[in-house]
Amino acid sequence: MDRITNIRVEEKKYHDQCYDTYDLFEPGSWLHKPVTTVINLINQYKDQEYISILDLGAGVGRNSIPIAESIKPRNGKVVCVDLLESAIAKLMSYSQQFGVEELDPMFEVNLSTERMIELLKRQFAGWEIEQLIVKSLAFEINRNGQPVKLTSDCITFVAKKS
Ligand SMILES: C[S@@+](CC[C@H](N)C(=O)[O-])C[C@H]1O[C@@H](n2cnc3c(N)ncnc32)[C@H](O)[C@@H]1O
C-alpha cells in the first residue's frame, strides 16, 4: 500500500472509531464544544439574514450544528462536506435530533492551503473579506503503536457582500 493510501486508511479508522465512541457534545471528548472561532462568529453574525456557511471536513457537526441552529430562523444555510460515510451518517442523524437541515455531499477535498485560498478569493471577488485565518494544527497520536504527528491547516474564511 502506498503512503497516502495508508494514511487515508488509518485516518478513516481513527475517525470512524472516534465518531462511534463519542456522542456529539459529550463532555470529556474533543466533540464537547464547537471551536472558539466558530462560537465568536456565531455571535458576530447573530442579526444577519441569508448567511451561507461551507464546512469542509465537517465531521459529525460539532461546528455546523450550532451554526445551523443559530442561522435557521434567519434563512441561513450550512453545506457540510466530509470524506467519511460514518461522519455523514452521524451528521444526518444529529441534524435531525437537533432539528436542523443540512446538505450532505460526501467527497474528498484535495487542495493545498494556497489553492483553497486562491479559489475562495476568486469565488468571493468583490465581497468584503472579513476574516481569513489560517491556523496550523498539529496533533501527536498513537497509530498502531507508533507515535505519529498529524499536521493540518485550518482555514476560516468569512466574506460579506458589500
Ligand atoms: C479532525 S476532524 C474535525 C471535524 C470537525 N470539523 C470538527 O471540528 O469537529 C476532520 C474531519 O475532516 C474529514 N476530512 C479529512 N480530510 C478530508 C478531505 N480531504 N476531504 C473531506 N473531508 C476530509 C475527516 O473525515 C474528519 O471527519
Nearest to 58 by CA among 31, 39, 21, 20: 31
Would you place residue 2 in the very low, low, confident or very high pLDDT band (cuts 50, 70, 90)? Answer: confident
Q: Residue 101: pLDDT above 80? A: no
Residue 110 Cβ contacting ligand 1 at under 6 Å: yes
Percentage of the chain beyond pLDDT 90 is 52
Q: Which residues are within 8 A (CB) of 45 and not within 5 positions of it... i.e. 6 or more apart? A: 51, 70, 71
- Which atom of ligand 1 is closest in space to residue 84's alpha carbon? 25
Instruction: Looking at the CA of residue 87, tell me the nearest atom of ligand 1.
Output: 27
Q: How high is the pLDDT of residue 105? A: 62
Closest C-alpha residue for ligand 1 atom 26 = 59
Atom from ligand 1 closest to the CA of residue 19: 27
DSSP 8-state symbol, 72:
G
Q: Residue 2 is placed in which grid cell?
A: 502506498
Radius of gyration of the chain measured on its C-alpha atoms? 17
Q: pLDDT-based confidence at 103, cuts 50/70/90?
A: low
- Identify which of 31, 13, 14 has the alpha carbon closest to the alpha carbon of residue 22: 31
| CB-ligand 1 contact for 87 (6 Å cutoff) | yes
Ligand 1 binding pocket includes 83 (Cβ within 6 Å) = yes
| Res. 104: pLDDT tops 70 | no
The domain locations on the chain are: 1-106, 111-162
Query: 63 CB less than 6 Å from ligand 1?
Result: yes
**Residue 118 clears pLDDT 80, i.e. is over it:** yes
Q: Cα(122)–Cα(128) distance, rounded to whole angstroms? A: 12
Q: Topology of 1-106 in CATH?
A: Rossmann fold (3.40.50)
Ligand 1 binding pocket includes 86 (Cβ within 6 Å): no
